[in-house]
Structure 1
Amino acid sequence: MIVAGVTVSAGTVMPAAADTDLPEYLTKMRAPEMWKVADGTGITVAVIDSGVKDLPGLKGRVLPGVSFMEPPVDHPDETYPPHDDFEGHGTSMTAAIVGDGSAGGPQGLAPGAKVMPIRTSIGSPMAFGAIGESAKGVRYAADNGAKIINLSIGGWWSLDKISSAVEYAQSKGVLVFVAMGNEGDGNKSANPIAALPGVLGVGAVDITGEPLPSSSHGQATDLAAFGGKAPIRCKKNTAWCMQDGGTSYATSLASASAALVWSAHPDWTANQVARVLIQTAGAPVDGSKRNDWVGYGIARPSRALLNREGDPGAPDTDPLASPAPVKTPTPSADPAAAVPRRVESAAADSGLSWQWPALGAFVAVVLGLGITVIVKRRRR
């Protein structure tokens, strides 16, 4: 079932800041130290979203890309280039991955990587078709050199199409990250795409490592990253504002973390990169191997790059696979599961996720607001 949560946050327009200033979450992740080892060079991340606006902070870091955005029925000849974004969500995700920190935008976690923008109808009155368009985008990304696919969007529509597309991408060696959602009420609102086999579902935490109450969670949560206050496009994509990034932003940071590790180990497979990210994650502080809020923990690529932790293991074995029966997305019977549990240390890597784009034409038109739709998935 799709849960469309209307997330209204005007945000605060950011004052000009020195281009050298790093956000706290990147400092905690030891980003400057990691960049001396790997910065994402050689890795292409496909951001399947609302497109990307050409901004100074993204110059030279964004590939041509493609748009699968369907035109409205009354304007069948309308075209939507991938390097345009009237919603701002895709631009925010792109900057979180590869931004250079200039012009008020965020410094990306993997500044040496390249983003392949794939535009869908997110944020438009035709947003109900975004998941079907995303399925086309997943296949395109897999066929055109993407090593990582970032889906900071979700929904149930055309789930069968995106499921087969994800399976195709995985057969081509692509690693897929999907945001859990921003409804905060567990499995019933978790992104169903995140529950697909082999997909890494990403939850969101704040700067202290505490799970965001708004972060959808459940059996499909595999990793978490920072999703608190961060530079997000606002005012109809004309400025940067400080807003909660949510699981969307967190997913971008998780994708960027994978780009860093893969850049340092270009001979590894998607399974090996995922395995090391899981092994080196800041695990839940309650001592459990995983929980429904942060999965196996907060992504900490510095452990792999600087401490040389993690065993890549078998190249063809899904690290999330297990002989246990598939778990269906149902509310947890554990009363404690409804309460966010603190994860390991404030120094844990973080990732920030924003509002999910509107998926319902009716709501988008009637409310005129960005709608965050998130669904969840569980891994074996």
Structure 2
Amino acid sequence: MRNVSHGRIRSATAIAAYDTQGAPPMSTRTKRFNTLSAAATIALAGLSAPAFAGHAYLDSLNAEGNNQFIVKYRSGSAPASSPAAMRASLDSAASRTALSSGKGGKPGLRALRQMILQGGRVVATDVPLNRADAAALMRQIAADPNVEFVQRDGVLRGLEIPNDSKFSSQWNLADTAAGLQAPTAWNTSNGSGVVVAVIDSGIYSHTDLNANVLPGYDFISSVTGLPDADCSTMGMSLGCGAPEDGDGRDANPDDSAKIGHGTHVAGIVGALTNNGTGVAGVAYGAKILPIRVLGKQKAGTESDIFDAIVWASGGSVAGVPANANPAKVINLSLGAPLKALCNDSPGWVSAINAAVANGAVVVAAGGNNNEDVATVTPAGCNNVISVAASNKSGSLASYSAAGATVDVTAPGGEQGLSAAGVPSTDAYNGIKSRVGTSVATPHVAGVAALILSAAPTKTPAQVEQILKSSARPIPLSKCSKGCGAGLVDAAAAVAAAVK
């Protein structure tokens, strides 16, 4: 997020959307809003022998409930070969450990079994210990010069692999160096209880999405589209921005202009998962609130989008029924690459600040023309999490915006016949691959939903901090222009949220 100064109020402005192929020139009076369509692997590293004998590994301790440990005795030591010597070692450690107030006495400690690890023993206390008592006991065990190391005997669980037919092609979600690490995150959180607003082109009916879709709203106020001069200036045909449904604002967010962009974005966030078909969603337990702001040729107006942002977060908009399902996350896969646009449009600042004040995390696409994300609105606005796009190799995508003010990067795919896009839901119950920072953005929105599902009291600022602090840094060789904190890591983010 960035702090911005406030400048003069601009006149009403036309907005449109574009893909990675680029956009035509724009006048200083007309802004074209663009659909930006175009974790390191969590290593289960083998436990290596510590540099010094008697090392106590304390990081894996729980706050409560620690009662089973692995003790590795040095090869050739008396405890490693003699049960009596081992018993004496454990008894000595227990006798030197003073339990915290309320526990009373000394911990009982017994050997459970020998491990395949040479000199390794599984030992247990007679009662579960809190973190402080367990750490004290482990340090006393490690004080024996015959002990090589001691650690908590942690619990692992099977990692769920969805049975969706296209999941094998979803490199973007995988537990790999270039993927989102979603399968590991799903063992803790799936986004349940969180509403994600997708402010975009509306939505298609889709069997792999419908069950997760809430009643939304169509915020396109024009019936005929944008003024001819605006469409012409942007290199678009007359009638751009028309809703194609014959009316203005209403409670039907269907994609009447047959764009498909909003449906693709929604599927990345919350496609049904483990239903044997289609693709998996990042936060498949979350609900999608579809809000339509982009009409024919992916064009729309700032004023419609401002209203949509406020309404999505639970704010009141004149003439529009109250939102029964306020969103905790707002996805904006659209943008306008004009310098200092936020400084020059208090409407953006007001709308975004209102949404954040209502408790919504706002995530926006960085841009698809290799621009500096600071020049793109709304990604360059204060209180917005800006997103750059990476490709299947984990590098910054060739088209992606970058720069010092990028917050995070997420899988967006790459252009070209041999490049990999990101598959998601499309028209007629289909699956289609697209590329762009529009594609990267819902990955981040989805992870934000995972965080809030696991830790519902987190504020938007705390969610942003978790996303950044848990991201995997991208090497300079793969991103020389600035990729923010790095590649978003769903598993690490959820783990940080529940600490």
1:23 to 2:170 alignment: yes
**1:119 paired residue among 248, 271, 292:** 292
Alignment of 1:271-290 (within 5 A): 271-286=461-476
| SS of residue in 2 equivalent to 1:266 | coil
Question: CA 1:166–1:79 in structure 2 vs 1: closer, same or farther (change >3 Å)?
Answer: closer
| SS of residue in 1 equivalent to 2:172 | helix
1:243 deviation in Å? 3.2
**1:173 paired residue among 359, 375, 388:** 359
1:140 to 2:140 alignment: no
Question: CA 1:240–1:20 in structure 2 vs 1: closer, same or farther (change >3 Å)?
Answer: closer
Q: CA RMSD in A?
A: 3.3
**1:100 paired residue among 268, 272, 280:** 272
Q: Give, in whole Å, the separation in 2 of the partners of 1:311 and 1:260.
A: 11
Structure-2 residue corresponding to 1:213: 398
Structure-1 residue corresponding to 2:388: 203
Question: CA 1:152–1:98 in structure 2 vs 1: closer, same or farther (change >3 Å)?
Answer: same
Tell me which amino acid in the other structure corresponds to 1:243: R
Tell me which amino acid in the other structure corresponds to 2:422: A
Tell me which amino acid in the other structure corresponds to 1:264: A
**1:150 paired residue among 328, 331, 334:** 331
Cα shift readout 1:101-156 (whole Å, capped 9, x = no counterpart): 56974311100001111101x25158242x32111011101114211110001126
1:192 deviation in Å? 2.3
1:242 deviation in Å? 2.6
**1:259 paired residue among 423, 429, 449:** 449
> Is contact 1:284–1:291 with CA below 8 Å preserved after alignment?
no
Q: Which moved more, 1:87-96 or 1:157-166?
A: 157-166
**2:492 paired residue among 287, 299, 303:** 303
> Is contact 2:219–2:249 with CA below 8 Å preserved after alignment?
no
| SS of residue in 2 equivalent to 1:261 | helix
1:243 to 2:434 alignment: yes
Tell me which amino acid in the other structure corresponds to 1:147: K
Q: Give, in whole Å, the separation in 1 of the partners of 2:486 and 2:298.
A: 36
> Is contact 2:397–2:412 with CA below 8 Å preserved after alignment?
yes
> Is contact 1:57–1:105 with CA below 8 Å preserved after alignment?
yes
Tell me which amino acid in the other structure corresponds to 1:119: R
Cα shift readout 1:184-238 (whole Å, capped 9, x = no counterpart): 13358x422112112110000012210001001223311010001112566x777
Cα shift readout 1:262-298 (whole Å, capped 9, x = no counterpart): 11111221111111111001113249xx975311111
Q: Give, in whole Å, the separation in 2 of the partners of 1:232 and 1:108.
A: 8
1:18 deviation in Å? 2.1
Greater RCO structure (CA 8 Å; 6+ sep): 1
Tell me which amino acid in the other structure corresponds to 2:303: G
> Is contact 1:152–1:179 with CA below 8 Å preserved after alignment?
yes
Alignment of 1:174-189 (within 5 A): 174-187=360-373
**Considering only CA atoms, is the larger Rg found in Structure 1 or Structure 2?**
2
Q: Give, in whole Å, the separation in 2 of the partners of 1:77 and 1:304.
A: 43
The answer for unaligned runs of 5 or more in structure 1 is 12-16, 313-380
The answer for unaligned runs of 5 or more in structure 2 is 1-12, 23-36, 38-163, 226-244, 315-322, 414-420
Q: Give, in whole Å, the separation in 1 of the partners of 2:487 and 2:443.
A: 10
Q: Give, in whole Å, the separation in 1 of the partners of 2:259 and 2:429.
A: 10
The TM-score with structure 2 as length reference comes to 0.54
Tell me which amino acid in the other structure corresponds to 1:202: V
Q: Give, in whole Å, the separation in 1 of the partners of 2:428 and 2:484.
A: 32
> Is contact 1:105–1:231 with CA below 8 Å preserved after alignment?
no
Alignment of 1:305-344 (within 5 A): 305=494, 308-309=495-496
Q: Give, in whole Å, the separation in 2 of the partners of 1:260 and 1:126.
A: 29
Structure-2 residue corresponding to 1:227: 412
The TM-score with structure 1 as length reference comes to 0.69
Question: CA 1:272–1:116 in structure 2 vs 1: closer, same or farther (change >3 Å)?
Answer: same
Cα shift readout 1:12-66 (whole Å, capped 9, x = no counterpart): xxxxx82554612212233223212100001111110001111000121011011
Question: CA 1:125–1:304 in structure 2 vs 1: closer, same or farther (change >3 Å)?
Answer: closer
Q: Give, in whole Å, the separation in 2 of the partners of 1:114 and 1:257.
A: 13
Cα shift readout 1:302-344 (whole Å, capped 9, x = no counterpart): 1133xx34799xxxxxxxxxxxxxxxxxxxxxxxxxxxxxxxx
